[in-house]
Homo-oligomer: A and B are copies of this chain.
Amino acid sequence: MHSRPIRGVVPPVCTPLTPDLEVDHRSLERLVAHLLDGGVDGLFVLGSTSETAYLPDRHRAEVLRTTTAAVAGQVPVLAGAIDMTTLRVLDHVRAAEEAGCDGIVATAPFYTRTHPAEVEHHFRLLAERTELPLYAYDLPVSVHTKLDADLLVRLAGDGVLAGVKDSSGDDAGMRRLLLALRHRGITSCSVLTGSELTVDSALRTGAHGVVPGLANVDPDGYARLFRHCADGRWDAAGTEQERLFDLFGLVEAGDPARIGASSAALGAFKAALHLRGVIDCPVTAPPQLPLTADEVLLVKERLISAGLL
**Which residues of A pack against B, CB within 8 Å?**
21, 48, 53-57, 59, 82, 84-88, 90-91, 109-115, 117-119, 121-122, 125, 141-144, 169-172, 175-176, 179, 195-198, 200-201, 204-205, 234, 238, 242, 245-246, 256, 258-263, 285-289
Given A54-B87, A57-B57, A263-B118: A110 and B110 interface contact (C-beta under 8 Å): yes
Chain B min CB distance to A69 (Å):
23
Chain B residues in 8 Å Cβ range of A242 = 179
Contacts of A196 in B (CB 8 A): 172
In the complex the two chains form, what is the Cα distance from A239 to B32 in whole Å?
Answer: 39
Chain B residue numbers with a CB within 8 Å of A285 are 85-87
Which residues in B have their C-beta under 8 angstroms from that of A172?
169, 171, 195-198
CB neighbours (8 Å) of A175 from chain B are 197-198, 245
Q: With A and B bound together, what is the CA distance between A85 and B30 in angstroms?
A: 27
Q: Known pairs A54-B85, A115-B263, A172-B198; list 11 more (Cβ under 8 Å).
A: A54-B86, A86-B287, A110-B110, A110-B111, A114-B262, A115-B258, A117-B259, A121-B286, A171-B198, A172-B197, A201-B205
Q: Report Cα–Cα, A160/B141, bound state, in Å.
A: 30
What distance in Å separates the Cβ of A54 from its nearest Cβ neighbour in chain B?
A: 5
Smallest beta-carbon distance A110→chain B, Å? 6
Is B85's CB under 8 angstroms from A286's CB?
yes
Q: How far is the CB of A94 from chain B (nearest CB, A)?
A: 10
Which chain B residues lie closer than 8 Å to A55 at the CB level? 87-88
Closest chain B residue to A113 by CB distance? Answer: B261
Shortest A155–chain B CB gap in Å is 13
Inter-subunit contact A122/B169 (CB<8 Å): no
Of all chain B residues, the one with the shortest Cβ separation from A109 is: B287
Docked pose: A195 CA to B175 CA in angstroms: 12
Tell me, rounded to whole Å, the shortest Cβ–Cβ distance linking A255 to chain B.
10
Would B125 and A113 count as touching, CB distance under 8 A? no
Kindly list chain B residues whose C-beta atoms are within 8 Å of the C-beta of A142: 111-113
CA distance A201 to B21 in the complex (A): 43
**Cα A67 to Cα B258 with chains together (Å):** 42
